Amino acid sequence: MKKFTCVEDIGNLQVAIDEALEIKRDRFRFQNIGKNKTLLMIFFNSSLRTRLSTQKAAMNLGMNTIVLDVNHGAWKLETERGVVMDGDKPEHLLEAIPVMGCYCDIIGIRSFAQFESKENDYSEKILNQFLLYSGRPVFSMEAATRHPLQSFADLITIEEYKKTTRPKVVLSWAPHPRALPQAVPNSFAEWINATGYELVITHPEGYELDPTFVGNAHIEYDRKKAFTGADFVYAKNWAAYMDPNYGQVLSKDHAWTVDTATMALTNNAYFMHCLPVRRNMIVTDDVIESPQSIVIPEAANREISAQTVLKRLLTD
Ligand code: AN0
Ligand code: CP
């Protein structure tokens, strides 16, 4: 594997999940393959899980890690070519990227959608420049349109908890005070579609996702119908995708908060969320604290998905 930015990069999903579960059984078995190799993790946006789990995964493989918070202590970066750089940005990404590539063997990059231009976000401008100019294998730690390490961890978690071979998985929009990217729901849909599980997506009208990611999933505007019989409930907020409302918050309707009444409609479903989650906006205290909530094992599997990806980037 030369890069990891989307589901295609992982190849056969079942093989990848089996490999991940093997790593989980003995995560120190491959502790020498990263010896004298350096991982550089570059964050344009905040993180708790991705930062810690990916660093831990690298350590399990014997790698050294460097973490760079671009917004704290590095030079402000210009990203557009052709700009007369007489403003507040002393360095251009086109020098910074190959320079960063000089100091490491693998690069992880977090760069969220900026909601200034749908075209810029959906063309993955920043991630693609790293792929083109760093000279190193690059993996996404959540880019503008996808969060593949999260989706891979989500699939490992579903594999561990599912009680039927083809569970009903419901991806539900939920309210949030600020605009959030579509990366997590896009990616979740993309990865679930690659499994053949039943995927139902439910959201208020106006929150339709990019059809490329929705694929053959069933969109159900009737929230109660969507949740009925669900085996897994995956809650997430996202801002509008469709024009002319790209990046906007169209609703904060608390009727979409996942509560015990919602969960009562399901087939005793497990509750999932990528975290961080705003309690009593996305999900009630009762649901997230219930035995059906698997948000912590889901987060724990971030170490496993990252380690599987790093192992492949180091060895393939
Ligand atoms: C981010 C998002 O929704 O994409 C990261 C989630 C993993 N969440 C926030 O910014 C709160
Ligand atoms: N789920 C996730 O990626 O969390 P962080 O934003 O804290 O890394």
Half-sphere exposure of 188 (CA within 13 A, CB side): 29
195 and 277 assigned to the same domain: yes
How many Å lie between the centroid of ligand 2 and the Cα of residue 86?
35
Instruction: Look at the pTM and tell me if it is higher than 0.85.
Output: yes
Which 3 state secondary structure label does DSSP give 299?
helix
Q: Is residue 275 within 6 Å of ligand 2 at its C-beta?
A: yes
283 and 189 assigned to the same domain: yes
158 and 289 assigned to the same domain: yes
19 and 115 assigned to the same domain: yes
Residue type, 301: N
Pocket test for ligand 2, best of 55, 110, 275 (most atoms within 8 A of CB): 275
Domain extent at residue 59? 3-146+302-315
Which helix (H) or strand (E) covers residue 233, if one does?
Answer: strand 232-236
What lies within 8 Å, CB to CB, of 299 at 6+ separation is: 49, 53, 153, 275
**For residues 245 and 206, is the Cβ–Cβ distance under 8 A?**
yes
How many Å lie between the centroid of ligand 2 and the Cα of residue 251?
24
Structural domain count of the chain: 2
217 and 111 assigned to the same domain: no
pLDDT in tens, the chain (316 residues): 999 999 999 999 999 999 999 999 999 999 999 999 999 999 999 999 999 999 999 999 999 999 999 999 899 999 999 999 999 999 999 999 999 999 999 999 999 999 999 999 999 999 999 999 999 999 999 999 999 999 999 999 999 999 999 999 999 999 999 999 999 999 999 999 999 999 999 999 999 999 999 999 999 999 999 999 999 999 999 999 999 999 999 999 999 999 999 999 999 999 999 999 999 999 999 999 999 999 999 999 999 999 999 999 999 8
158 and 295 assigned to the same domain: yes
141 and 33 assigned to the same domain: yes
176 and 233 assigned to the same domain: yes
238 and 273 assigned to the same domain: yes
How many Å lie between the centroid of ligand 1 and the Cα of residue 180?
6
142 and 154 assigned to the same domain: no
10 and 135 assigned to the same domain: yes
Which atom of ligand 2 sits closest to the CA of residue 141? Answer: 3
Bridge partners, residue 171, by sequence: 201, 234
188 and 137 assigned to the same domain: no
How many Å lie between the centroid of ligand 2 and the Cα of residue 66?
18
Q: Is residue 55 within 6 Å of ligand 2 at its C-beta?
A: no
Residue 171's CATH number: 3.40.50.1370
What number of other Cβ atoms are within 10 A of residue 250's Cβ? 15
What lies within 8 Å, CB to CB, of 146 at 6+ separation is: 5, 6, 140, 183, 186, 187, 190
pLDDT of residue 73: 87
